[in-house]
């Protein structure tokens, strides 16, 4: 089987991590690969803010939980209110927030999602593990949360498409069942 097909099949959502930090070298490697993400009309209008260290991620987690309690952000209110909820499973030593400048492309969700997919696969290729975390997108433009994001260097014109909890896996999780009926062929 080709290396690419093998990598596609082996990528997993990792939710348990060792204490080992994510190195600059690994970040460089995965972002070099993700630079090849295709984007609509090659706009490449995506950017990621990487938050490293449990203390900094805990602060971000507090902001995410706080924003999700505000009126208008009900989608994750209940989930984010639970004590056990944490954007990095209380463990991942890095957290990657991917945003796209939605004024530059009609396809910001598509472009950002592909970038996340590339990052996720590249992370696994260097021995890291990741899990998409969905609870930041809806609160991107909540004013207090936006101010916090800006303080992290997240570009003010970008909208969050998704994020990844990132670190060294304790183990590779089992493969969730997959459907095999995703296509039909005509002709």
Give the footprint of ligand FMN on this chain (CB under 6 A): 12-13, 15, 131-135, 162, 176
Complex with ligand FMN: residue 41 or 91, whichever CB lies closer: 91
| Measured distance between the N- and C-terminal CA atoms of the chain, rounded to whole angstroms | 27
State the nearest-atom distance from the C-beta of 16 to ligand FMN, in Å.
11
Going through the chain in order, the beta strands assigned E by DSSP cover: 46-52, 94-101, 129-133, 158-167
Shortest distance, position 23 Cβ to ligand FMN, whole Å: 23
Give me the sheet containing 158-167, strands edge to edge: 46-52, 94-101, 158-167, 129-133
Q: Which residue has the tokens 């056990």?
A: 84
What is the smallest separation between the CB atom of 24 and ligand FMN, expressed in angstroms? 26
Distance CA 180, CA 132 (A): 23
CA distance linking residue 148 with residue 56, whole number of Å: 12
Give dist(CA 93, CA 95) in Å, integer: 7
Is 12 or 158 the residue whose CB approaches ligand FMN more closely? 12
Tell me the DSSP string of 27-42. Answer: HHHHHHHHTT---GGG
- In the complex with ligand FMN, which residue's Cβ is closer, 28 or 116? 116
Q: Cβ 116 to ligand FMN, closest distance in Å? A: 8
- Minimum Å gap between C-beta 167 and ligand FMN is 14
Nearer to ligand FMN, 4 or 186 (CB): 4
Of 163, 147, 155, the residue nearest 63 (C-alpha): 147
Is 22 or 130 the residue whose CB approaches ligand FMN more closely?
Answer: 130
Which is closer to ligand FMN, CB of 27 or CB of 80?
Answer: 80
Q: Min. distance of Cβ 161 from ligand FMN in angstroms? A: 9
């Amino acid at each position: 089987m080709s290396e690419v097909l093998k990598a596609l099949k082996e990528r997993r959502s990792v939710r348990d991590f060792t204490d080992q930090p994510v190195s600059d070298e690994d970040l460089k490697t995965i972002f070099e690969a993700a630079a090849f993400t295709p984007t609509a009309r090659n706009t490449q209008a995506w950017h990621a803010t990487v938050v490293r260290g449990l203390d900094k991620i805990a602060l971000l987690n507090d902001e995410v939980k706080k924003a999700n309690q505000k009126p208008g952000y009900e989608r994750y209110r209940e989930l984010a209110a639970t004590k056990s909820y944490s954007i990095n499973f209380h463990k991942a030593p890095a957290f990657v927030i991917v945003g796209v400048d939605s004024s530059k492309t009609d396809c910001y969700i598509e472009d950002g999602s592909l970038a996340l997919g590339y990052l996720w696969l590249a992370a696994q290729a260097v021995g890291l593990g990741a899990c998409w975390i969905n609870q930041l997108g809806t609160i991107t433009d909540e004013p207090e949360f936006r101010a916090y994001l800006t303080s992290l260097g997240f570009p003010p014109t970008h909208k969050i498409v998704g994020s990844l909890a990132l670190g060294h896996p304790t183990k590779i999780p089992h493969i969730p069942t997959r459907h095999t009926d995703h296509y039909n062929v005509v002709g």
